[in-house]
Amino acid sequence: MRFVRWAAASAAAAVAAVAAVIGINLYVLWSARSRTITDLDDLPHRAVGVLPGCSEWNVTGVRNPHFVVRTQAASDVLAAHKVDRMILSGGAPEVAEMRAELERRGHSPDVLIDDVQGLNTEASVRNALPYGPFTLVGEEYHMPRALLLARRNGADAIAFVVRYQTSHLRVLRRCLKYRRIPARERDWIARVKDFVTG
We report the CATH number of the domain holding residue 122 as: 3.40.50
DSSP string, 177-191: HTT---HHHHHHHHH
Is position 59 within any domain? yes
In a domain? residue 27: no
Q: How many other C-beta atoms can be found within 10 angstroms of the C-beta atom of residue 137?
A: 31
Q: How many domains does the chain have?
A: 1
Given a contact cutoff of 8 angstroms between Cβ atoms, the answer to whether 49 and 86 are in contact is yes
Kindly state whether residue 18 falls inside one of the protein's structural domains.
no
CA pair distance 110, 108, nearest whole angstrom: 5
Range of the domain at 88: 32-197
pLDDT of residue 15: 75
> Does the residue 145 lie in any domain?
yes
* DSSP 3-state of 83: strand
Predicted confidence pLDDT, tens digits, the chain (198 residues): 676 677 666 777 777 777 777 887 888 889 889 999 999 999 999 999 999 999 999 877 889 888 999 999 999 999 999 999 999 999 999 999 999 999 999 999 999 999 999 999 999 999 999 999 999 999 998 999 999 999 999 999 999 999 865 544 554 455 455 556 566 777 777 777 887 886
Q: Measure the CA–CA gap between 175 and 180, rounded to whole angstroms.
A: 5
Predicted confidence at residue 194, as pLDDT, reads 80
Closest CA relative to residue 86, chosen from 129, 36, 38, 52: 52
* 11 part of a folded domain: no
